[in-house]
Structure 1
């Protein structure tokens, strides 16, 4: 039997246990070919995913590419370890069905947060969408598979703002912490709304102890120095008085430790070798130990930044100002992502019906 493929006719053979079955299979192949749904391409999901990541390397920042690879490797383990079992990754693109994706998503549900599963599905959908545009598949098998969960599940992983009593306990614990580098890095994230990479990327030239401000000019993660996340992420932020006092004491500690004051290109939070910033995972490890000892519910490093924005807004700071301090591209991002109603703020929104019935005083 010959069928059209990529503008030319090709001959294929189909086999069945009986002549009737062979005829049925031939009709199915012909129907798919007429619909443009027939392809003999044997590119695997993992193979196409690797090529997709290579293309993305030219389009996105290194940190973003690392996140893409990390998320995809949860669904396609062979991207991380070529010897790892990878049922979906070994399957040809054209053979993947929504049922295969549903099975994978259900498995991921049991091991990862709802937020993580959604990110994984999003990357898989993007891969198959590109394959669809290249006519390697006739449909996107990820599109009909939804990732659903309760609102509580989603918000629990999206981040939270620390309540005031938690902030107080954490600051006291940071003052008593044995490693001043880690402690002050965490404090800057909470007091100035810095991302982890922004804090670790600070050099002494970025801090003006006289004016009481710091300037974000670079970020550090995964062993690399990069530009700030967006053009608005490069910004100057005021340092609160108590944090500024600790920064001055911290610099004096380094002057004594080095026998001279650190030069302007010296990392504010250097690692053990001093030539590189502090290990990217060190603040997170320290924070987990601290909050566990304090009995505070789980806190991520990024939640310190969430807390900064939330408390600014809760205390009446204009949305545009908070957006600028956070380094967001626009105020809608600030409002949508970092606006958490805190317990003390919720309590402030009280309307007494008796007050509504009282006559208003004339001006």
Structure 2
């Protein structure tokens, strides 16, 4: 194992000090260590030149369409004089820039009420965001872990954030869960070992999402993940949200699919220069490590903390309900530059591709607030007539 990487040395020293660390701690260090963690590296980029593409980095249409939803939320709250939009993890800042610009040009009354906040863990990304968004002045502010949480009326939004929370990796062995830890072999390379569970919260987690591992018929060697970081994150959001909405977009599965016996290797995956693979111990600090989101956990814990589940749908349906189809039609009828038109047409289709970004889950939760989106409600009625016993308002399972 190369030793020129300070992050590798830090993780090795941590392991030697305690013998083994949980995979959750390993993933936390690999992604968020102050010196060398993936999201703290100045070289880390999101978009076509980086390791992965998000909807916001693909086309400004994504942020403009989401702005349509934020405006509807503002109206649903009776147009408060201050509507706070808190973006959790803002990437390169493209999304915020488009939302502010589009609101100013298209919905001036909403823009007058809009206060944009960003909570960003990465100092490197925060610096880039501040440079990109400097023109918005005090219309926009940053929140850190050390910033006292203020009461919010508005919306808390995240896109592809929860999938990067460090997860506990589990293996079914001898009729019980074992947790995967990381140690070093004689050559100093990372090596996995199994340890008995130390987290009672993992048993509580499965009870909350309605999965009884003893009844699943798992074979020895079955692997999966549990995202315990989701729980305090949701609790914090609910506590700071006085009234309004939580809008979460990410890739994932409902619990009965996530923990199905056939998904025997779990969902952990890594991204390095747009190449996807499943080895988290290579390119440490230079690659993204993710796990799919348990959508059932997002809704069940949200409800525990006072967040009502309003809609669960796919990104494709959500964006179509907000007007993406109209944009496609208008774009096809335009006489603009051909190459630009082709690129935009392709980007719009990528947003709704059911095998890609369009298959992402959109979860809308409310606190003392509701939002009526007729196109989604109509689809919901059809779905609920054919799918009983699943999560509320799940439009495409």
Q: TM-score, normalised by structure 1?
A: 0.26
* Higher share of residues assigned helix: 1
* Higher share of residues assigned strand: 2
Q: TM-score, normalised by structure 2?
A: 0.25
Higher radius of gyration, 1 or 2: 1
